[in-house]
Structure 1
Amino acid sequence: MNKKILAALLAVLIAGCGKSDAPTSAATPTSGAASGPAVSVSSVRAEQRDYQVQLEATGTVTALTSVEIRPQVSSTIEKIHIREGQFVRKGEPLFTLDSRADQTNVAKAQAQVQKDLASLADAERQLARSKELVAQNFVSQVAVDQNQTLVDAQRAAVAADRAAVEAARVAMSYSRIAAPITGRAGIVSVALGSLVSPSSPAMITITQLDPIAVAFSLPQRNLNDALQSLRSGGGSVIAVLPEGRGTLQGKLSFVDNAVDAGSGTVKVKALFDNAGDKLWPGAFVGVKMAVQTLKGAIVVPQAAIVQGARGKVVFVIEEGNKAAARPVEVVYAVGQDAVVTGVKPGDRVIVDGRQNVRPGTVVAERAQPTAGGKGGRASAPGESLPLPLAGEGRGEGASAGGPKP
């Protein structure tokens, strides 16, 4: 009996304690989002501005002109006027070949001219004498005609001799090899006294460096944009030098006449001024080409976009410092920026701390990150950002893509 009485007393005491705790329990908020301390976040305001869509590719620097220097006659090298790597202008001498045989041929041809000129003078005197005699009926007209034929033949021989002199002089001019273009010399592959011929390997290569071209490929879907840019004067093409050595501004100069069926791309070229020799033939550079401008676009940081089960959302800070989820559609996303629909200009979009935020969460906004801090900064209007050709976005949960039609 005593055990039963003690058990009953304990039950009554426990029930009394539960009733005394009931008010405390009822005072606890039922919403898990509003419970606990405010979540620390940072935000960036959504911008509305014209956004330039650019395509990014890897291009190869190619010279507009590159000439391999070979002799036009077989001879030995008498003198070398150039150093390897030297900058030369059109017409400057590069090599001098042994021209003694050609000089002899010129002298021989000139002597033949003098000989035939003497024969011509004699034929002309004979013709004049025969004309006088025929007037006095001492000779027939046949003799005059024969002398006239002889004069005409000698005149033709003199003309042929003079042409032979010019041919010999042309052959002799081949002994002086000059730069056909302005550019930079490559490796000199011959030495003094070397025997060279037209079939020999190139003696040196002269490459034009200014202006210079960058060849790259564009997706087939951007062919019309490239053609329109070409018709309007080439548009704007930027070459991004490796290792952060800056950029160069150029313009589109060529679009190929066919699309590569294997890759679905079209080859294009852009022309750049290269007075500082920043672009070198054969080097790889990044290329950015503007294809269109999105008018009045809403721009947010890519880092603010969260991929949810029902699509992409961003969290914005509403009145009362509470977070709200806004479904968005990414129109164009690349680099640090994303052009979206679903938010308004000026909305405070949460960037850092978004992973700890739920709809209705009370947030405490901390100081904005500096320009050199962790992502989440939307670029200022007109700022140039790295824009890949068709790459994925770097923001968490955000995928990049081209402009939607």
Structure 2
Amino acid sequence: MHRLLAFSLVLAALSSCQRAQQKSNAAAPPPPVTVAKALDTELIEWDEFIGRLAAPQAVEIRARVSGYLAEIHFREGSDVKAGDLLFTIDRRPYQAVVDRTQADVERAQVRLELAKMEARRAKALIESKAIAVEEIDQRNQALAEAEASLRSAKATDSQARLDLEFTELRSPISGRIGNVLITQGNLINGGTNNSNASVLTTIVSVDPIHCYLDVDEQSALKYRELRRLGQRASALDEQIPAEMALANEQGYPHKGHIDFVDNRLDPGTGVIRSRALFPNPGGLMAPGFFARVRIPGSGKYRGLLVQDNAVGSDQGKPFLYIVGQDETVKQVPVELGPMHEGMRVVKTGITKDDRIIVNGMALVRNGTKVTVKEELEMKTAMLPAAAASSTKQ
């Protein structure tokens, strides 16, 4: 009897709780959500590669003449311009040679003037038959020898002056200079055809700068197909844009273009070498740095962008929550594309007029009713709540 009474009391309590819960559920308002329409814009898909920076020009500064290194006129690691004086080799021995060859030129000029006078005198005497023909020939021959001697002396003098000029080593290009490999006071070896000529330093150009990247075979075939379809130009026809970032940079702040594509695929690595050219004012980038480079991987097309955190996943399949005209939530499967400027490309599944839930996703399910608290632009929806509110205001 007591057990039956206790059981009746429990049933009455449960029934009361169920009625209270149903009443509470009936009174609960639909959850508030924030929605935004997808951003309809023109898109280009980008392919990313890892590249390495390289100098367009690199020069080893070697001495053309031998001698003692007298002066160094630059600071190691500084920027130099074409024509700047870098090193001076002891000029005194070469100046002495120039003085001697100049004297030889003057001596040859005196001899030539004497030979010319003798030739003119012989020509006057031959008319009066006061000189033999053999004497005329000898004087003409002496004149020719004097002219040849003068040319030889001038050539020797020119070489001596050139060697004297080579005692001043100037920068052949503008760029950044390296460290001094032979210090002041040492005897250095020189020579234009001497592989043992001393290397004094190196110079690399840094503005603009090259970035070499290896493009895989699949990407290369895709680019050629895009070119065939007229959706992408060749690097030979026009400048293909390229964007780059260093290891410590976000996004792709450096803008350049592809200026070279190799003529064959490397069968050993399965890649084709390409090169991009980037402005480098101030020399921020240096040869040898690694960089992230991206180039267009598709033609231009119209696409839809959504906030990436608005995308949900159901057993690995992406979806978006769409709010219909009757304020009912519908879960829509979508096909996603790459990221574009912080937003996600949606290839299929939605239209530009669909209202997509961007805030409050955790409160809704497929088929539930919601209250649209706020409708924003998709760009605004990407901002934090406080910033989005102030932007809307």
For the aligned pair, the TM-score class normalised by the smaller chain equals 0.7 to 0.9
1:322 to 302, 321, 328: 328
Aligned to 2:209: 212
Q: Is the 8 A contact 2:358 2:381 kept in 1?
A: no
Aligned to 2:47: 55
1:124-162 CA-to-partner distances (Å, cap 9, x unmatched) read: 233233323322223332321222122112101111110
Q: Is the 8 A contact 2:65 2:189 kept in 1?
A: yes
In structure 2, give the amino acid aligned to 1:287. V
User: Which structure 2 residues correspond to residues 62-73 of structure 1 after superposition, within 5 A?
Assistant: 62-73=54-65
In structure 2, give the amino acid aligned to 1:326. V
1:295 to 273, 294, 301: 301
2:244 to 239, 248, 264: 239
Structure 1 residues 186 and 44: CA distance shift in structure 2, 3 A: same
CA distance in 2, matches of 1:231, 1:355: 52
CA distance in 1, matches of 2:269, 2:138: 78
Aligned to 1:343: 350
Unaligned 5+ segments in structure 1 are: 1-5, 29-33, 378-405
1:44-80 CA-to-partner distances (Å, cap 9, x unmatched) read: 4223221122222233222221222111112111111
CA distance in 2, matches of 1:342, 1:220: 30
In structure 2, give the amino acid aligned to 1:217. D
SS in 2 for 1:236: strand
SS in 2 for 1:276: helix
Q: Is the 8 A contact 1:301 1:338 kept in 2?
A: no
Measured after TM superposition, the shift of residue 204 of structure 1 is: 1.8
CA distance in 1, matches of 2:180, 2:91: 21
In structure 1, give the amino acid aligned to 2:212. A
1:241-285 CA-to-partner distances (Å, cap 9, x unmatched) read: 443477222222222222233444332222222223222222223
* Count of aligned pairs between the two proteins: 359
Q: Is the 8 A contact 2:334 2:346 kept in 1?
A: no
CA distance in 2, matches of 1:90, 1:180: 5
User: Which structure 2 residues correspond to residues 179-218 of structure 1 after superposition, within 5 A?
Assistant: 179-198=171-190, 199=196, 202-218=199-215
> Is 2:271 aligned against 1:265?
yes
> Is 2:149 aligned against 1:161?
no
Aligned to 1:74: 66
SS in 1 for 2:82: coil
CA distance in 2, matches of 1:332, 1:263: 27
Identity of aligned residues (%): 26
In structure 1, give the amino acid aligned to 2:156. A
Question: TM-score if structure 1 supplies the norm length?
Answer: 0.74
Measured after TM superposition, the shift of residue 348 of structure 1 is: 2.2
Measured after TM superposition, the shift of residue 364 of structure 1 is: 5.3
Aligned to 2:260: 254
1:328-368 CA-to-partner distances (Å, cap 9, x unmatched) read: 33355566312311211121234566577553234455667
2:83 to 87, 91, 96: 91
RMSD: 3.8
CA distance in 1, matches of 2:39, 2:354: 8
Structure 1 residues 310 and 156: CA distance shift in structure 2, 3 A: closer
Q: Is the 8 A contact 1:333 1:339 kept in 2?
A: no
1:282-306 CA-to-partner distances (Å, cap 9, x unmatched) read: 2223223234454321223444445
